[in-house]
Amino acid sequence: MRRYLRVVVLCLACGFCSLLYAFSQLAVSLEEGAGGGGGKPQAAAASWLAGGGRGAGRGAGSAGAAAHPGPSDRYSLKMQPVERVHLAVVACGERLEETLTMLKSALIFSIKPLQFHIFAEDQLHDSFKGILNSWSFLQTFNYSLYPITFPSENAAEWKKLFKPCASQRLFLPLILKEVDSLLYVDTDILFLRPVDDIWSLLKKFNSTQIAAMAPEHEEPRIGWYNRFARHPYYGKTGVNSGVMLMNMTRMRRKYFKNDMTSVRLRWGDILMPLLKKYKLNITWGDQDLLNIIFFHNPESLFVFPCQWNYRPDHCIYGSNCQEAEEEGIFILHGNRGVYHDDKQPAFRAIYEALRNCSFEDDNIHSLLKPLELELQKTVHTYCGKIYKIFIKQLTKSIQDRYDRPPKER
Ligand SMILES: *[C@@H]1O[C@H](CO)[C@@H](O)[C@H](O)[C@H]1NC(C)=O
Ligand SMILES: *[C@@H]1O[C@H](CO)[C@@H](O)[C@H](O)[C@H]1NC(C)=O
Ligand SMILES: *[C@@H]1O[C@H](CO)[C@@H](O)[C@H](O)[C@H]1NC(C)=O
Ligand SMILES: *[C@@H]1O[C@H](CO)[C@@H](O)[C@H](O)[C@H]1NC(C)=O
Ligand SMILES: *[C@@H]1O[C@H](CO)[C@@H](O)[C@H](O)[C@H]1NC(C)=O
């Protein structure tokens, strides 16, 4: 009898312990759900937009849920949200192929699931849908397609005052209201490393930083802003907005110092007066407005090194991005149209190799062959010399991503 009682007590104790464990798991997953800006980003963004058709979403069983089998699975409490990387781009005119190549480079190397926010002129929507749907077998991304739009209060005024496509990106914090953080890139960007790497810089922001960009120049003697600008700009040489990492929660909350009124203004209220004041003096459009804003609010900017936004300017007149030579080129920015002309063969070759390749592993491995051939032809130019670094970077990224057993990926 005593023994029987003991067994019963033991069983009860065990049951109680597993219950406790289950509840603690539940608490953890609830907490994480509330924290990481999990939510349902696209839903609200779509309702804000007049005719914004949403792209076809697909499920991705994805790493997080499957990664920790164990007791929590038994109690069906495995729904831990995987943090998604939000990537935005604005595509107008002839930029379809370039944009798709950028998205492809993001997919080839990235680890976390990606959420694309693509703002495009209406006539490009069908082409985007066609291609992106054909990539859906990858199951590592979702996309939303939006028309070029502005907040309704002064949409007409913005369209009248400024090229709509160029200023679209300034409004992303107001349009994607439910998205916590976002990486904005120009269409002429190529990722040579996982997007996860730049995304992780968000965690390095101190309490006042809200956005991150790279300097426009490393070398003031050839800098544009310090020689020609007729408006304030950030730091010694200004910043380049082709790769811009944003904590939009903070951007929406902040009151910005400015030179128009003595009161501080919110993001949504500062843009129009700024444009009105400076429209005759700005050359590079929205990038200039960002420079003016961060001139007045320098504590809010996180400046990342040039290797996260590597442009022809860094090698045309000699190599002036030290970090890239030492650690590699992480994100390539082919501005000045260098992917499409013969001025910088190294940039063009990388672009074409990524444009031409498909998503099969073998194909991605053979990506490097045409590049190595091209290398021999271009060593005589400054940018040709750093071409070796492009190839080294790509080789490493491919190894990191594809030369591990499939289980670990
Ligand atoms: C895509 O969206 C669906 C539905 O919203 C979601 O279940 C899935 O996890 C998403 N996939 C990725 C890779 O984000
Ligand atoms: C615009 O540039 C002109 C000429 O350099 C300068 O006099 C003027 O103050 C500038 N306007 C603003 C708003 O800075
Ligand atoms: C962005 O800032 C908000 C408010 O400070 C914070 O809660 C959130 O975790 C930040 N997002 C990221 C990805 O660091
Ligand atoms: C955050 O970093 C920026 C840039 O280094 C700096 O100006 C600012 O004072 C820092 N903020 C805090 C709260 O330390
Ligand atoms: C990419 O394809 C084009 C045409 O199909 C070809 O001319 C070019 O040499 C290829 N480039 C690379 C780097 O693979």
Q: What is the mean pLDDT of residues 240-269?
A: 96
Flag whether 18 is in a domain. no
pLDDT, the chain, mean: 80
Residue of 349, 226, 351, 363 lying closest to 291 (CA atoms) = 226
Residue with CA closest to ligand 5 atom 13:
353
Q: Measured from the CB, is residue 230 less than 6 Å from ligand 2?
A: yes
Amino acid identity, position 269: D
Flag whether 225 is in a domain. yes
Alpha carbon separation from 54 to 44, 129, 143, 247, 285 (Å, rounded)? 11, 10, 8, 23, 28
- Distance from residue 182's CA to the centre of ligand 1 (Å): 17
DSSP string, 311-348: -GGGTTTS---HHHHHH---EEE-TTTTTTSSS-HHHH
pLDDT, position 4 = 58
pLDDT, position 121 = 94
User: In 3-state terms, what secondary structure has residue 131?
Assistant: helix
- Give the number of the atom of ligand 1 that is nearest the alpha carbon of residue 62: 13
> Where residue 254 falls among pLDDT bands split at 50, 70, 90?
very high
Count structural domains, the chain: 2
CB–CB of 274/260 below 8 Å? yes
Flag whether 10 is in a domain. no
pLDDT, position 6 = 64
**174 plus 280 within the same structural domain:** yes
Flag whether 224 is in a domain. yes
- Distance from residue 111's CA to the centre of ligand 3 (Å): 21
**300 plus 383 within the same structural domain:** no
Flag whether 67 is in a domain. no
Amino acid identity, position 380: H
- Give the number of the atom of ligand 2 that is nearest the alpha carbon of residue 232: 14
Ligand lying nearest the CA atom of residue 206: 4
| 180-227 pLDDT tens trace | 999 999 999 999 999 999 999 999 999 999 999 999 998 888 888 888
Q: What is the mean pLDDT of residues 88-109?
A: 96
DSSP bridge partners of 116: 87, 143
Nearby residues of 39 by Cβ (< 8 Å), 6 or more positions away: 178
**275 plus 378 within the same structural domain:** no
**156 plus 243 within the same structural domain:** yes
CB–CB of 398/334 below 8 Å? no
- Give residue 394's domain range: 320-330+337-403
Alpha carbon separation from 160 to 52, 165, 289 (Å, rounded)? 21, 12, 17
Q: How many Å apart are CA 249 and CA 372, to the nearest integer?
A: 44
Q: How many CB atoms lie within 10 A of CB 218?
A: 20
pLDDT, position 145 = 98
Q: How many Å apart are CA 107 and CA 140, to the nearest integer?
A: 8
Flag whether 226 is in a domain. yes
**371 plus 265 within the same structural domain:** no
pLDDT, position 269 = 92
- Distance from residue 57's CA to the centre of ligand 1 (Å): 6
Ligand lying nearest the CA atom of residue 302: 4
| 123-174 pLDDT tens trace | 999 999 999 999 999 999 999 999 998 877 777 777 766 677 878 999 999 9
Amino acid identity, position 376: Q
Q: Measured from the CB, is residue 97 less than 6 Å from ligand 5?
A: no
Which has more pLDDT, 23 or 180?
A: 180
Ligand lying nearest the CA atom of residue 357: 5
Residue with CA closest to ligand 3 atom 12:
202
pLDDT, position 37 = 33
Flag whether 66 is in a domain. no
Whether 363 has a pLDDT exceeding 50, the answer reads yes
Nearby residues of 168 by Cβ (< 8 Å), 6 or more positions away: 90, 119, 148, 149, 150
**388 plus 294 within the same structural domain:** no
Q: Measured from the CB, is residue 299 less than 6 Å from ligand 4?
A: yes
**250 plus 351 within the same structural domain:** no
Flag whether 68 is in a domain. no
pLDDT above 70 coverage of the chain, percent: 77
**206 plus 141 within the same structural domain:** yes
**281 plus 377 within the same structural domain:** no
Which has more pLDDT, 118 or 82?
A: 118
Residue of 334, 327, 330, 323 lying closest to 383 (CA atoms) = 334
CATH number at residue 203: 3.90.550.10
* Token pair 């979403």: residue: 57
Sign of CA dihedral 359, 169, 279, 296: negative
**348 plus 289 within the same structural domain:** no
> Where residue 41 falls among pLDDT bands split at 50, 70, 90?
very low
> Where residue 374 falls among pLDDT bands split at 50, 70, 90?
confident
**293 plus 349 within the same structural domain:** no
Residue of 132, 101, 23 lying closest to 367 (CA atoms) = 101
DSSP string, 254-322: PEEP-SS-SS-EEHHHHHHHHHHHHTTT-SSTHHHHHHHHHHH-GGGEEEPPGGGSB-GGGTTTS---H
| 62-83 pLDDT tens trace | 333 333 333 344 444 455 667 8
Whether 51 has a pLDDT exceeding 70, the answer reads no
**277 plus 326 within the same structural domain:** no
**Whole-prediction pTM value?**
0.81
Point out the least confidently predicted range of 98-107, 138-147, 223-232, 286-295.
223-232
Whether 395 has a pLDDT exceeding 80, the answer reads yes
Q: What is the mean pLDDT of residues 100-115?
A: 96
DSSP bridge partners of 243: 185
